[in-house]
Amino acid sequence: MKYPSALLENAVNELATLPGIGRKTALRLALYMLRREPSYTENFANALVALRRDVKYCRTCHNICDEEMCPICANPARDHALVCVVENIKEVMAIENTGQFKGVYHVLGGIISPMDGIGPSDLQIDSLVARVASGDVKEVILALSTTMEGDTTNFFIYRKLSAYPVKVSVIARGVSIGDEIEYADEVTLGRSILNRTSFNDSIKL
């Protein structure tokens, strides 16, 4: 594709580096910016640069934040003895949206994936062990993806924490609310039968 302007080609090249954005979409986005007022593109660019330049990570849970400590870790009303281990900040936001969790988080920054060259040392596992070793944590909930990589990471963390007097649990896996049993996959359905809950417990929720 030949571009009539080097400026346009440069902008399209940059936009096309974003995941899921091809060159056609990138061109559409660049032309959209040309139709908007100049201050639009300036605000857009400033917001991205400011994010990358000024973003901080909570020194306790490694969640993204604007201060040295994230609002969740800084909140005295949360249960700091209950730590939920997640892959990324997107999972923190998803769990926070449920409104069901009153503990704090630990963001690993990924999961162990030898195929992608991500080993335990690339993740915030040592700092999790240090948090547990400090003795303030009573329970660690592993809330990673239910994939092979997630299971591997779960097991690795479980082994690392076995030296400490801490309860390690994983989030329940079963048939999603609203799903029909008929269409659930066999592994999920099998697990949901093995890990069945007492009816009395389930109606309390």
Q: Cβ–Cβ contacts within 10 Å for residue 84, how many? A: 21
**Nearest distance, CB of residue 80 and a copy of itself, angstroms:** 17
Q: Quick one: 68 or 158, whose CB is closer to a copy of itself?
A: 68
* SS3 category, 140: strand
Q: Is 44 a residue that touches a copy of itself (CB under 8 A)? A: yes
CB-based burial, 132-147: b 16+ in 10 Å, e otherwise: beeeebeebbbbbeee
Q: Which stretch binds a copy of itself (CB under 8 A): 48-56, 74-82, 150-158, 178-186?
A: 48-56
Nearest to 64 by CA among 52, 72, 56: 56
Q: Is 6 a residue that touches a copy of itself (CB under 8 A)? A: yes
Pairing of the two strands 64-65 and 56-57: antiparallel
Q: Is 49 a residue that touches a copy of itself (CB under 8 A)? A: yes
Task: Write out the binding residues for a copy of itself, residues 82-121 only, by CB under 8 A.
Answer: 88-90, 92-93, 96-97
Q: Give the single-character DSSP code of 60.
A: T
Residues binding a copy of itself (CB under 8 A)? 1-8, 10-11, 13-15, 17-20, 25, 27-34, 38, 40-56, 63-66, 70-72, 88-90, 92-93, 96-97
